Amino acid sequence: MNLSESQIQSIVTSVMTTIKAQESKSGCHGVFEDMNVAIEEAKKSQKIVARMSIDQREKIISRIREKIKENAETLARMGVEETGMGNVGDKILKHVLVAEKTPGTEDIKTLAWSGDRGLTLVEMGPFGVIGAITPCTNPSETVLCNTMGMLAGGNTVVFNPHPQAIKTSQFAINICNEASLECGGPDNVAVTVFKPTLDTSAIMMKHKDIPLLVATGGPGVVTAVLSSGKRGIGAGAGNPPALVDETADIRKAAADIVNGCTFDNNLPCIAEKEVVAVDSICDDLMKYMIEENGCYLASKEVQEKLIATVITEKGALNRKCVGRDAKTLLKMVGVDAPEGTRCIIFEGPKEHKLITTELMMPILGVVRVKDFEEGVATAVWLEHGNRHSAHIHSKNVDRITEYARALDTAILVKNGPSYAALGFGGEGFPTFTIASRTGEGLTSAATFTKRRRCTMSDSLCIR
Ligand code: NAD
């Protein structure tokens, strides 16, 4: 059969249209043009999830775990490329951590009382469709960890991700939906919109079908969620100090602090943001940081240049500096630092701008204090009342206790790098939503459930 030029053209156009349609559908499970439609779809899928057996929910979560591991490098690369923040190696580790240690349905426990007057249970039930706002600092880590926990609790979730991390967040959302579909579950267990904005966020926050909002980010978003009139979980900003006293293993403290501070270029909100060191060990600590841990000692001149570069005139962070590595930051201020430079350090007063500001980049100011008592007061002041995270290096248990009480934070790591609190080189589970402000602490599946009491009067007690 001989086809004319125009017939061939028409066939080619038709095939290309079909391919394009398939392309735009694949890789976009859970992504909608309109926020109201996204919420509607999440509502439909929640009805299915709520009727699933716990075993079936767990199968989907296990499949999400596998898919995160399969895609850990892709997710890490996408995150770094899209946001310009962090580093691929550490982001891979963060994704593997999420895959392996995020709690699933086992986190949902039933409380029971039985006695002469019968049996009473407190069961943890789903809220329904949860609205979640996520940051650009750990974009896919937060989406994946939130979805696993929320799904374990029987919920589905609508995300309004950070506009600087849309593609990465959508890729993570797609992974969760593919996992659900592959296990016989519904599509749209996690949803979002193609273009999340403050307007789509406002629609989500006001929507009648969203009973619970979860905000992970800075003070603005947490305040917005807590002002919504709905139940809100607020995982806000921190500025974690690491206090080192004269009883600590100073060499180990130096290594732990630099390891914690430089992990993913200091993006985690729990990471060491400044050091408070007792006078008698301060010089040794800084010496170990410089000689054994790749720290660059910034002169007063370099400090001034860094202030002018990383903080804007209005006092906000220069986004181009957030999550950059130390060598890149130094290059921005005209310093060609040697290979292996991991962190920029300097000694300064507690009021120093690079010390009071939550920088989220490997710049670590050291504040010298005369003794432990002054150290505690300084650390409390530097934490700004966020009650988020604080760290201490000391072998004196009484002092550790005093510090923990004074700081009153959701996380306190003793004698280790900050990431030990996320179950990375420490016991316990990870999360990237640490509800410092509203008090839930490290969130997990149980956080995303509501308690329901069910009482059987005068029977079912077999004691
Ligand atoms: P960010 O506050 O700029 O943005 C976070 C999210 O909130 C984004 O999706 C953003 O679009 C949205 N948002 C901001 N203001 C809003 C408003 N008024 N109404 C509705 N949505 C709003 O934060 P970021 O730069 O993406 O992340 C870094 C900050 O988040 C740091 O302060 C860090 O400490 C904090 N953080 C906290 C946790 C935690 O678990 N506590 C975890 C990660 C990050």
276 Cβ closer than 6 Å to some ligand 1 atom: no
Confirm whether pTM is higher than 0.85. Answer: yes
Return the exposure string of 235-253: e unless at least 16 CB atoms fall within 10 Å of the residue's CB, then b: bbbbbbbbbbbbebebeeb
Report which protein residue has its CA nearest ligand 1's atom 14. Answer: 221
What is the pLDDT, as a whole number, of residue 21?
Answer: 42
Are 396 and 247 in contact, with CB atoms under 8 Å apart? yes
Q: Average pLDDT for consecutive 10-residue bins of the chain (463 residues)?
A: 71 55 61 98 98 97 98 98 98 98 98 97 98 98 98 98 98 98 98 98 98 97 96 97 98 98 98 98 98 98 98 95 98 97 98 97 98 98 98 98 98 98 95 96 98 96 90
294 Cβ closer than 6 Å to some ligand 1 atom: no
The 8-class DSSP code of residue 46 comes to H
| Nearest ligand 1 atom, CA 136 | 26
Report which protein residue has its CA nearest ligand 1's atom 28. Answer: 217
Report residue 309: phi and psi, to 5°. -90, -45
Q: How far away, in angstroms, is 371 Cα from ligand 1 center?
A: 35
Q: DSSP readout, 141-201?
A: HHHHHHHHHHHHTT-EEEEE--GGGHHHHHHHHHHHHHHHHHTT--S-SEEEESS--HHHH
Q: How far away, in angstroms, is 131 Cα from ligand 1 center?
A: 14
The 8-class DSSP code of residue 2 comes to P
Question: What end-to-end distance do the CA atoms of the chain give, in Å?
Answer: 85
Q: How far away, in angstroms, is 287 Cα from ligand 1 center?
A: 35
Q: How far away, in angstroms, is 218 Cα from ligand 1 center?
A: 4
Q: How far away, in angstroms, is 235 Cα from ligand 1 center?
A: 9
d(CA 251, CA 431): 29
Pocket test for ligand 1, best of 146, 162, 225, 447 (most atoms within 8 A of CB): 162
Pocket test for ligand 1, best of 35, 91, 137 (most atoms within 8 A of CB): 137
d(CA 428, CA 217): 23
Q: How far away, in angstroms, is 216 Cα from ligand 1 center?
A: 5
Burial class (CB in 10 A: 0-12, 13-18, 19+), 181: middle
What is the pLDDT, as a whole number, of residue 308?
Answer: 98
Task: Name the residue with tokens 């735009």.
Answer: 24
d(CA 211, CA 131): 8
137 Cβ closer than 6 Å to some ligand 1 atom: yes
Q: How far away, in angstroms, is 154 Cα from ligand 1 center?
A: 25
| Nearest ligand 1 atom, CA 269 | 34
| Nearest ligand 1 atom, CA 205 | 20
| Nearest ligand 1 atom, CA 437 | 41
159 Cβ closer than 6 Å to some ligand 1 atom: no
What is the pLDDT, as a whole number, of residue 27?
Answer: 60
* pLDDT tens digit sequence for 115-171: 999 999 999 999 999 999 999 999 999 999 999 999 999 999 999 999 999 999 999
What is the pLDDT, as a whole number, of residue 13?
Answer: 59
| Nearest ligand 1 atom, CA 163 | 11
Report which protein residue has its CA nearest ligand 1's atom 23. Answer: 217
321 Cβ closer than 6 Å to some ligand 1 atom: no
d(CA 327, CA 344): 9
Report which protein residue has its CA nearest ligand 1's atom 13. Answer: 221
Report which protein residue has its CA nearest ligand 1's atom 15. Answer: 221
238 Cβ closer than 6 Å to some ligand 1 atom: yes
Which residue in 246, 258, 260 sits closest to 345, CA to CA?
Answer: 258
